[in-house]
Amino acid sequence: MRILSGIQPSGVLHIGNYFGMMQPAIALQAQGEAFYFIADYHALTSLRDPKALRENSRRVALDFLACGLDPERAALFRQSDVPQVTELAWILSTVAPMGLLERAHSYKDKIARGIASSAGLFNYPVLMAADILIYDSDAVPVGKDQKQHIEITRDLAVKMNETFGQIFKLPEPRIHTATEVVPGIDGQKMSKSYGNNIDIFGAEKETRKRVMSIVTDSTPVEAPKDLARSTIFELYSLFATKNEIAEMRERFQKGGTGYGDFKKELFEKLWLYFAPMRKRREEILADKSYIDNVLSRGAKRANEVADVVMKRVRAAVGL
């Protein structure tokens, strides 16, 4: 089984990135041949600073490796190190119905959030389809909010197969249901663009400050707290054991503990959880050539597969 996933280098990674994409991807690397790419082409739809893009791409590689990605099991590479993906995106765009792209939720959501409309943003699902299809991917781990992109990919693969013969296999989404949406400090989906993030490798003082800034209601200390609407409890449940979760649930329902105390417990649990990864991150930084070597090996493997697929595609379409 070949597994494919990608992450945008749009900024410093936060715990929403970790639980939404990185943790499930790392877990899957033991189940098949994994290809994980840093989506720098995609990032160009919103990031216009070349220095920041290069630095962010490198930081994503560093953080992914620190969090447990094993380069002996998974190929980690920059999307732009496989230029065949843009050729395939163009070929897919020649059969992509406009109506299919106009129905894409991500485009509408980004425009609604004030991101400038562009052809690149509109065609984002086509490039994502090329990312997936160019490696003959079998499984694509995504959050529930990304499922439509896999459906579009399958639609384009079927369209190509019907038009030019059997070229592509149809990838299957692997929906990570355990953590569909990680809430930010304001209760919305955690996102750098919302400014509600808690970074994976943030400084201790800043991380504590972010946790202590989590928005709560005005329930007094002595009263029971509403579990269903508590960002504190939802985040704590990501890091704690079943017994610890049950114990906090009981104290929420009983009353007598203030939100401030619950926030302190959340911070301690979060900080302890990422401690081994912070140590591994420092070890990687001490080896100046490690990241470059990993990305180079990953790109070599990705290009080997992409070349085979593109040879098949070119022959099928008449190039």
Instruction: Tell me what the pLDDT averaged over the chain comes to.
Output: 93
Q: Which CATH architecture has domain 2-181+289-317?
A: 3-Layer(aba) Sandwich (3.40)
The Cα 289–Cα 56 span in angstroms is: 17
Residue 101 near residue 126 (C-beta atoms within 8 A): yes
Give the rounded percent of residues in the chain with a pLDDT score beyond 70: 97
Residue 32 near residue 61 (C-beta atoms within 8 A): no
pLDDT tens-digit map of 230-289: 999 999 999 999 999 999 999 999 999 999 999 999 999 999 999 999 999 999 999 989
192 catalytic? Reply is yes
Residue 4 near residue 132 (C-beta atoms within 8 A): yes
311 catalytic? Reply is no
State the catalytic residue, choosing from 147, 192, 209, 264: 192
242 catalytic? Reply is no
Domain ranges of the chain: 2-181+289-317, 202-273
pLDDT tens-digit map of 288-309: 899 999 999 999 999 999 999 9
pLDDT tens-digit map of 173-207: 887 655 568 999 999 989 887 899 999 999 999 99
Closest by CA position to 54, among listed 62, 188, 203: 62
The Cα 306–Cα 4 span in angstroms is: 13
Comparing 2-181+289-317 with 202-273, is the CATH topology the same?
A: no
> Cα Rg for the chain, rounded, in angstroms?
21
State the catalytic residue, choosing from 144, 147, 159, 189: 189
231's CB contacts (< 8 A; 6+ apart) are 183, 184, 185, 186, 187, 214, 215, 216
Amino acid (1-letter code) at residue 247: E
* Mean pLDDT across 120-146: 90
For domain 202-273, give the fold. Tyrosyl-Transfer RNA Synthetase (1.10.240)
State the catalytic residue, choosing from 110, 225, 263, 269: 110
Closest by CA position to 64, among listed 32, 17, 30: 17
